[in-house]
Structure 1
């Protein structure tokens, strides 16, 4: 089969403010096409209104050809048309605008810009631009690309599009910016036996020998990055919304039953969102498709949503409970985009968070509606914690980040745009109340339907609908990076509050926020809310919070249930009272999480000791809730990692203490599922078992190995169901060496023979989880073989242990050129850096890594390098602080019950 590799250059736009498009004046003055070289955004003297697009993909030769007729409006005097194209061959002799033939047809490859120059001024008003073009179905998982799959024992190709953010130009010449919305009418010529899908339903089909010609209905106004095409062999399951919208889930042949859960969530999501957003779903159908090769998790193309297999497919026998939950959240997220992103679209990538923050938040709202027993809002605090960690770096960025180069866009598809965006939306929702928030949001959707909006437009609608100072409040959160720590001190009957920007390196930044403060105590029926607008203010303590003089009963908690995006540092008296409330089970689940996360961050920043963090952590022994234990597990993993370098002589005792905290709930659950147990208990079991294996708990490791040895011989899934397999696989890897590799080879066999995507990822993600150099290198080098799809190239790095970090770093240095050349998506290259660099905890290593990347960064992952290096420096500072911390060893022995 002809390979489809296609080398392309990175788009490298010159610096230009994202809100300042290139002016039309130079074009009016004549000149040459060269004046448009290096433009960051397209000039506005012409805009598309309608595309007639015809494509002919060849799935054997891995090529495609096409024609496009673009109806556009010329609004200013110009001799040029400037649009986007990349990796395309444009037939210059075919180019026509009305009856005019261009005198220049110039493609600036480095900019992704196609310039058409004409001998005279173009007539104002509407006209049609036509051209023929061709390209390659590439292997880069962007633009128009090929994905490989098996059918009847043979490898087949399917054709797939992935256009977000700036890759529609790799499929057809177009105005490839979100603000240039237009209608699309698509025609596809494909082999008759294949299924071909696009955003809209098929209007009619004709046949020409072995080829069928599909003409699709005209789309509503939409941005180019949402156009979608999928061609291949599929089967589907189908459902219907209450309003009669047809919903289908397409899978590879033989797997349609695995699409039933996603179909159910999809239908429910469309029903819910039409009411929540106050606007019907705008298209006549919705298709969701599982794609074998897919760089992202999923993509919200209008009416044709594409997913990785594992993000869409669920099987009761082979999938885990956590996998089921991820499918539900991902489907709800992508379908929320049909309104928030597709119907109303950001004006430019600076406002990406409008799409991703809202979709992340509202997906949890939907899943909580469908599955209230999952307690999804408590789990949402995992997202908040992720965002707080990233946003406490000097190398963070604002939610609204200026995008100057198109090649920079990938870097902001991160926890700031998604998780922080969702968290500040949750904060606003809490401040305004559910009803006022929903009413304002529905008004925004109706006002900007089928058009584009900026963040300021959203706040204007919210202010009009609620009468609250939403713009001033939220601007302080979206236009500056970081967040505050609220220092709380008791003084008489007042609590004095002072805000300061929190940074994990222990410093304090210049930021100031309008902070929605909430406080609660007792039965949480005495909550207070107010806006902290100043650096300092006071809060009167409610009488119901207890009498300080009597002792024992007094406590108050700020940031109730973690609805605010900030941390709290309490003085000694407030902290002791809260710890007592924790031990006497007075706190809500979310407040248990918030207290621990804040203490962990303050310890890293050396504002509190590790000993005090361990004492607080010990108060959680016996905790049984999944969400709370998820955060306990994250903190224990962090402490175990840092103790490896900070206290090598004490590390074993610290691990025993961490095991002591986790062991009780793990023993209660055991390895075997129980009839009638909750979804959360099913997810909790593997999390605890994996943690105990990673901490070196011998009994858990031995039991995992025992179960694996039985499972591998007779595939006894009752003994080792999908949920607990990772724990057993990790247990096996603890004993693997180059001279004792039978367990490793058995796992490799599981990986090769499994047809289930989740199982394959489960195995691939643990193969490097040992300290043996030969095995670690063998596992990492799998990414250079046909065994690992490009989309999964980062997965083998997930299992790297601290002890193997030098092996991994040397491997990365030696293979850097190969990795950066063969993996086109900069976000995937960034995953390699994030997996390896933060394993280190010394300034010397940070200097070495910095020197290596000094000449090897690119706009797509430059920020990732800086953030990873900053994390190393923060860890180094934490290590030095722990080394000089008095009383740590005594605290550990005391909590272990040792003399």
Structure 2
């Protein structure tokens, strides 16, 4: 038990004796689905609480000592009781309730009882008598264990020191205090934290008062927050380093400076220097974009060592995983680039999500899609050399794999269970959502779209908003109902549009012909009936701007008589359209002759559309290989490496080892000249374009060394890694570690395991785990899988290890057998996140019988998996689709030569 005051101890002893019914206060006994009350049968609420009561203000007074197994406190919630009732519903999970009382508007103190009604934390407070509508205060005295997973308020230990951190999104605040745990309930918070001697405490505001207690502990009273939902509160307690960063100066309408601090585990404060140094530039870039002053008074950046999310946008107090926040100015371009985009994402949330919060989890895209869309734009505006301008489009293309499943969901998904909340935080919300916003912005123009965004935010400052609210802002600024309908169709319809496109040239001039239906890959049972209102831009010739139109029907003809009849029509000009193109083979062949000369965004979009057609069985794999090889030597790193994941899929689908070897040889012949130009170590290209070259070298070396098994590159890389006179370039070290693990076997692998066991550097530990997941020796692979049960492996690292099990596809049968044999131990070791990760690597099993086995095994466990039944559905569907593709000509077509050079129309 945490240390309690004498008064608190007296309450714990006496109140159960004085108040009737308190014997059940600490219980978490699920009741039946119906509860009998005076006015009839009332259903137990599920994900949405009834409107009988709403919170107006919270007062949290918590004692948090990470050296103990639990914490305690008193919570007052001022509520508006909106109708006569003898009870209210709210949220709380696994809370040990010592006392509950109600203080009426007249000042009466009335006894009440607490009972957790459902396992996921719906609770009921019963009054001693019905109360009329009024303002009440619910007062709770309670304790709770630190959460054993990485949700709620949890503990971590390092070098013998203990810390507490929080993660309340989505519905884990209820594990830390009794509350109304929905985003629509925004209120101010008054927070007081009591900590032991030597510990620091951080929350959403700065302290306004501090008291020293007997024994050296401290009681810190923090400033009242602005209105916030429960999920945006944050706590960090322990012997923390708190580092003062640069102060952000006043900007425009904001007259006050913003203090910036970094927070890390003891001794790690100096490693916050880079993150703190880049914060003012990113912050001011975003604040200028919004034109709305930052609302939260200060900005803390907290590095958490055991954090399964990469970042969390708590208001004024952003929490990051150590792997992402503790980057250095001389770290890899990729590490700094990832951090800058993540940092911009979380800062953008201070407006998208914090200042204006979605009214419900069905509209979480109003947080995540908008932050994912804006973050790379902000980084590109501030530091264009970090090459983030095409990131949104690239990630939207990657999201199409998930969105092509029959079991996918719409961006705006109805929420009926808590599992639905969990699945709302996937690449449909983040990457597809961001891609759809980028498409709309491209169609209307950045200035007009920015006006719609800022109009929406200004209308709901410190409040909540819905999709309909944003549609309204878009309508009021654009005055274009078709545009609004386009966004609405993309938000509400699952799947990827498949847009068939062609052209004719009658006497009246050029006509563009379109037909659309839902895309589906080979073996899919998804309905193709849906159609979207989608923006389309085409380029009939190089001398003119793209011609743009809105496709509103299943079939349409667009007259473009002002253009001459082209030899080839370039579709999806600008590359921002969220759809897959379906073209005739002849049209594709004509496009391939000009593909190397198109803008980079169009190259990526066309390459992915062609892959989609191959996977759907409409075009041969040889055509994709032709396209990929034609782009191997383009300057842009993201285009040159865009095909690597798809080429790995073709290698994995090859029916025999001979076919796989032939394909490897073909690909080596195409990419070895590129490797010779880029080099393993910095050279001429690095002097001309250092960031682009470093990013390309990173991907190219990994592809050649690990997927194509290029013996020359592997030997050179091993020599670099083992040269004591100079370290290899940072961007190839991760691949070098993986190659050494494969080539040197047990001695090197044992060294990596020791590194994970003893190092406190989260980034180094992550690199070591990545290398361990690439071992090829089946005996060593089995030993590495069992590291999941090692007590020194952090829980987020357990999840990393499991997610990476599919990287060497030859180990998948053994991994699947391991999961089945060890499921009880895995359940005990992990969390719902861990359980939800287990099916992810199994796609490569690639057979219908395997799909049946996976479904039979995981379906009964669905309630324990993050994402629930949808996680099982998607894992099984991926295996079935892989089996269908392996059985098709997809795995049997030989490589084709590169296309002849051509000219852009």
Same fold (TM over 0.5): yes
Which residue in the other structure is 1:597 paired with? 608
Which residue in the other structure is 1:726 paired with? 734
Distance in 2 (alpha carbons) for counterparts of 1:14 and 1:489? 60
Q: How does 1:151-300 map to 2 (within 5 A)?
A: 155-209=160-214, 210-232=216-238, 233-243=240-250, 244-300=257-313
Confirm or deny: 8 A CA contact 2:404 2:495 kept in the other structure. Answer: yes
Distance in 1 (alpha carbons) for counterparts of 2:183 and 2:890? 52
Distance 1:490 1:328, change over 3 A: same
RMSD: 2.6
Distance 1:890 1:856, change over 3 A: closer
SS at match of 2:597: coil
Distance in 1 (alpha carbons) for counterparts of 2:429 and 2:412? 8
Which residue in the other structure is 1:551 paired with? none
Which residue in the other structure is 1:502 paired with? 519
Which residue in the other structure is 1:516 paired with? 535
Q: How does 1:152-551 map to 2 (within 5 A)?
A: 155-209=160-214, 210-232=216-238, 233-243=240-250, 244-317=257-330, 319-469=331-481, 470-492=483-505, 493-505=510-522, 509-523=528-542, 525-540=544-559
Task: Tell me which of 610, 617, 626 is aligned to 1:615.
Answer: 626
Per-residue deviation, 1:759: 2.0
Distance in 2 (alpha carbons) for counterparts of 1:385 and 1:14? 46
Distance 1:653 1:500, change over 3 A: same
Confirm or deny: 8 A CA contact 2:592 2:899 kept in the other structure. Answer: no
Distance 1:475 1:10, change over 3 A: farther
Confirm or deny: 8 A CA contact 2:580 2:609 kept in the other structure. Answer: yes
SS at match of 1:133: strand
Moved more, 746-755 or 223-232: 746-755
Q: Cα deviations across residues 692-739 of structure 1 (Å, max 9, x unaligned)?
A: 1121111111122222333xxx4x5x3323321112112223335xxx
Distance in 1 (alpha carbons) for counterparts of 2:121 and 2:781? 40
Distance in 2 (alpha carbons) for counterparts of 1:269 and 1:556? 40
TM-score by length of 1: 0.90
Q: Cα deviations across residues 305-335 of structure 1 (Å, max 9, x unaligned)?
A: 1110012111245x32211111101111011
Task: Tell me which of 750, 761, 764 is aligned to 2:766.
Answer: 761
Which residue in the other structure is 2:91 paired with? 84
Distance in 2 (alpha carbons) for counterparts of 1:143 and 1:156? 20
Per-residue deviation, 1:109: 4.4
Moved more, 570-579 or 306-315: 570-579
Per-residue deviation, 1:94: 5.5
Confirm or deny: 8 A CA contact 1:794 1:831 kept in the other structure. Answer: yes
Distance in 1 (alpha carbons) for counterparts of 2:657 and 2:543? 43
Distance 1:235 1:403, change over 3 A: same
Per-residue deviation, 1:294: 0.9
Task: Tell me which of 639, 642, 645 is aligned to 1:631.
Answer: 642
Distance in 1 (alpha carbons) for counterparts of 2:837 and 2:670? 31
Q: Cα deviations across residues 318-365 of structure 1 (Å, max 9, x unaligned)?
A: x32211111101111011111110111011101111110001011111
Distance 1:158 1:95, change over 3 A: farther
Distance in 1 (alpha carbons) for counterparts of 2:30 and 2:475? 39
Confirm or deny: 8 A CA contact 2:610 2:624 kept in the other structure. Answer: yes
SS at match of 1:148: strand
Per-residue deviation, 1:275: 2.2
TM-score by length of 2: 0.90
Distance in 1 (alpha carbons) for counterparts of 2:581 and 2:650? 21
Distance in 1 (alpha carbons) for counterparts of 2:337 and 2:735? 19
Which residue in the other structure is 2:784 paired with? 779
Per-residue deviation, 1:35: 4.4
Per-residue deviation, 1:537: 1.4
Per-residue deviation, 1:503: 1.2
Which residue in the other structure is 1:663 paired with? 672
Distance 1:720 1:649, change over 3 A: same
Confirm or deny: 8 A CA contact 2:369 2:430 kept in the other structure. Answer: yes
SS at match of 1:118: strand
Per-residue deviation, 1:268: 2.2
Per-residue deviation, 1:458: 0.5
Which residue in the other structure is 2:55 paired with? 48
* 2:144 aligned with 1:131: no
Distance in 2 (alpha carbons) for counterparts of 1:260 and 1:510? 54
Distance 1:411 1:93, change over 3 A: closer
Q: Cα deviations across residues 559-617 of structure 1 (Å, max 9, x unaligned)?
A: 123211101122233222211112xx420111111111111121111111112222222
Distance 1:308 1:524, change over 3 A: farther
Unaligned residue ranges in structure 2 (runs of 5+): 3-25, 251-256, 901-905
SS at match of 1:121: strand
Confirm or deny: 8 A CA contact 1:337 1:355 kept in the other structure. Answer: yes
Confirm or deny: 8 A CA contact 2:100 2:112 kept in the other structure. Answer: no
SS at match of 2:694: helix
Distance in 2 (alpha carbons) for counterparts of 1:291 and 1:283? 21
Confirm or deny: 8 A CA contact 2:394 2:604 kept in the other structure. Answer: no
Task: Tell me which of 861, 878, 881 is aligned to 2:885.
Answer: 878
